[in-house]
Structure 1
Amino acid sequence: MRYRVLGGTGIEVSTYCLGTMMFGAVGNPDHQESVRIIHAALDQGVNFVDTADMYSAGESEEIVGKALRDRRRREATVLATKVYFPMGEGPNRGGLSRRWITQAVENSLRRLGTEWIDLYQVHRPDPRTDIEETLGVLGDLVTQGKIRAFGCSTFPAEDIVEAHTVAERRGLRRFRTEQPPYSLLARGVEASVLPVAQRYGMGVLTWSPLASGFLTGRYRKGRPIDLSSGRPALVPHRFDPALPTTAAKLD
């Protein structure tokens, strides 16, 4: 297994990252089987596991926590999770405000059964919240030792540039990673997001590298295909191998 440094943090992660979106009610509700899958990946040298608070309404984080209950496994694993999507009804139960992130990180730590999160990612941009507010609370969480580093996911290039500009001007900690959708069928990030990530020395995790299963061979010529959920569109751009690719996240 090959390892790379994650976005200038000094943290070394495996080339492959195990995504856990399908663990829990929306995918595999069998906790024991999901734990076995996680252990199998770790035993093969994968040391990077990614989840999110909204995956199966927190159940995925609980499963990951069970898999990493052994202290040695936890210390050997680079654990990533995310915040943004609503986690309940009513206002102030999602987004990227200081109020919500402060509460959400405690909830994730509890479900994961851990004292720290290695990579805490904002799942989507939040136009309702000033980016300075978000960067400020994330930096405070690093200082408090609750997270080691933080990044963003599915951010347009212009939002990444704005975040880094604000961080530099205000003396705040900055996003270390970006997690965009990227596959042979979804290559739009090559035009701007990947070059911007390279400019700022950010690590890149890709989600849905198999295009929601479209690239697995599951869909065959002459057979009906259900496109009701939508599929990534082909956006032709020249591939530059020098662009940063830290990990392919297998959901």
Structure 2
Amino acid sequence: MKYRHLGSTGIRVSQLCLGTLMFGSWGNRSATDSIAILNRAMEAGVNYIDTADSYSRGESEEIVGKALAMSGRRDRVVLATKVHSPMGADPNSRGNSRRWIHQAVDNSLRRLGTDWIDIYQVHRPDPHTDIDETLGALTDLVRAGKIRYLGSSTFPAHHIVEAQWTAERRHRERFVCEQPPYSLLAREIEADVLPTCQKYGMGTATWSPLAGGWLTGRYRKGQDIDTTGRAGRWAKRYDLSTEANQRKLDAVEQLAHLAEESGISLIHLALAFVTEHPGVTSAIIGPRTMEQLESQLGAVNVRLTQDVLDRIDAIVPPGRTLNPEDGGWTPTELTTAALRRRGH
């Protein structure tokens, strides 16, 4: 395993980060299997573990906490979790308010069975909460010793800049890392998010480097898509009747041929591409099974030649995302008509 500094924090994290979205009812319902996956990842040198309170409604955090307690390796991992997504019917059990953050962090600490969280991340921007309120609440938690560092996830570049400026002007703790979506099929962040993170000395742990399974060979032309699991949960990313997803199918065919010609698997091509970018610290992998984990670990030993990288650019141009749904977040200004129409 290779290790890189997480921005300017001085922390060294593994090139692959173990994401636990698939731990629990959203993916693998066997806690025993998930614990085995986490242990195998740590044996392979992975020291960066990412989860969220919303993954399987807290079940993922509980499994991670149990695994770390059983292994006795809590002190050896950089543990990250998130706040923002709904955690129940209560309208205040979500978002980025001071009220919810203080409640949510205690809930996560309890589920994880730990006294501190290394990186506490805001899962998405909240248009209804001033970023200064969010940073103020998080700063209090750093001073209380409950969290070590602050991070954001799927923030557009202008929100990242606003948070950095607010932290400086209001003397708050700042976001030290960002978690954006990034893959061979979703390259939009190359144009703004990654350069912005580099400018502010932020680390990045990119999610969905395998494009939600599109870059594993699972979705190819002539094959039906299983609409259970994630394909059912995020249907717009998998609906083959759309032009955007047809473009993805075409690109996957070309990338699969490129991987074969290069003598590597499509999975290794995809992961090596993501970690090749100088603005990327770590790629978050999210295996559901041990077989999936084993197929991904070897990517750390793959380096892509300039010729292969140029051929990738010809298939999916730099800065282009083939399906906007893969961006992970749509501003309310685009989803709420009243914000685009005067007098309505």
Relative to the length of structure 2, the TM-score reads: 0.69
Give the corresponding residue for 1:48.
48
Q: Which has the higher helix share?
A: 2
- Measure, in 1, the Cα distance between the counterparts of 2:130 and 2:83: 16
Give the corresponding residue for 1:231.
237
Identity of aligned residues (%): 62
The C-alpha deviation readout for 1:205-233, integer Å capped at 9, x for no partner, is 11100001000111223323467713396
Matches within 5 A, 1:140-219: 140-219=140-219
SS of match in other structure, 1:248: strand
- Measure, in 2, the Cα distance between the counterparts of 1:127 and 1:80: 23
Give the corresponding residue for 2:27.
27
Relative to the length of structure 1, the TM-score reads: 0.94
Matches within 5 A, 1:35-184: 35-70=35-70, 72-184=72-184
- Measure, in 2, the Cα distance between the counterparts of 1:94 and 1:223: 38
**Of 184-193 and 217-226, the range deviating more from structure 2:** 217-226
Give the corresponding residue for 2:265.
none
In structure 2, the CA distance between the partners of 1:242 and 1:50, relative to structure 1 (3 Å rule), is closer
1:156 partner letter: P
CA RMSD, aligned part only? 2.0
Give the corresponding residue for 1:220.
220
Moved over 4 A (4+): 225-228, 232-235, 239-242
Deviation of 1:9 (Å): 1.2
The C-alpha deviation readout for 1:126-176, integer Å capped at 9, x for no partner, is 111100000111111111111110100000111011111111111111100
In our comparison, the structure showing a higher alpha carbon Rg is: 2
- Measure, in 2, the Cα distance between the counterparts of 1:220 and 1:129: 42
CA contact (8 A) 1:124 1:152 kept: yes
Deviation of 1:113 (Å): 0.2
Where in structure 1 are there 5+ consecutive unaligned residues? Answer: none
- Measure, in 2, the Cα distance between the counterparts of 1:21 and 1:215: 17
